[in-house]
Amino acid sequence: MAENKTVPTSASVDEFIANVENKRRQADTLKMLELYKEITGLPAVMWGPSIIGFGETRYATDAGREGIMPTAGFSPRKANMTLYVSDKFDGATALYEKLGKHKKSVACLYINKLDEVDLGCLREIVAKDFARCLDK
């Protein structure tokens, strides 16, 4: 079985953020970093080359694959800010409906600009998803 590519590294989170080319995305990344630190109470760690993660969660799939992943995390991608959150917590539908401009997949939330979303709502989404992960 192939090894997971997304694992915690010793790379500097601050250096990674300093190298985000788009200045708006860089500023949004700094805001997200503070939001995640406040919510999780955990230090930021680089997972692979581009994910800023907080905490560590073990997982196992029905297909037998096992590994670790960040309990909470996000990535400042070129196209958008990607937050690794679900909709498997109480009140998720209502929160996503009032969030503002975004796209959603099963386990990801895509935001182009933080000023296009309600930051209080975003904070609640991240906090509720993080709490859900801790309750597993």
Give domain limits for the chain: 13-134
Q: Provide mean pLDDT across the span 26-40.
A: 98
pTM: predicted TM-score of the whole model, two decimal places: 0.93
Which pLDDT band holds residue 60 (cuts at 50, 70, 90)?
Answer: confident
Half-sphere exposure of 44 (CA within 13 A, CB side): 24
pLDDT score of 40: 98
Mean pLDDT of 23-46: 98
Whether 53 shows a pLDDT value over 80: the answer reads yes
Give the model's confidence band at 51: pLDDT under 50 very low, under 70 low, under 90 confident, else very high: very high
Q: What is the pLDDT of residue 2?
A: 58
Its CATH class, for the domain covering 13-134, is alpha beta
Q: Give pLDDT, residue 61.
A: 81
In this prediction, residue 112 carries a pLDDT of 97
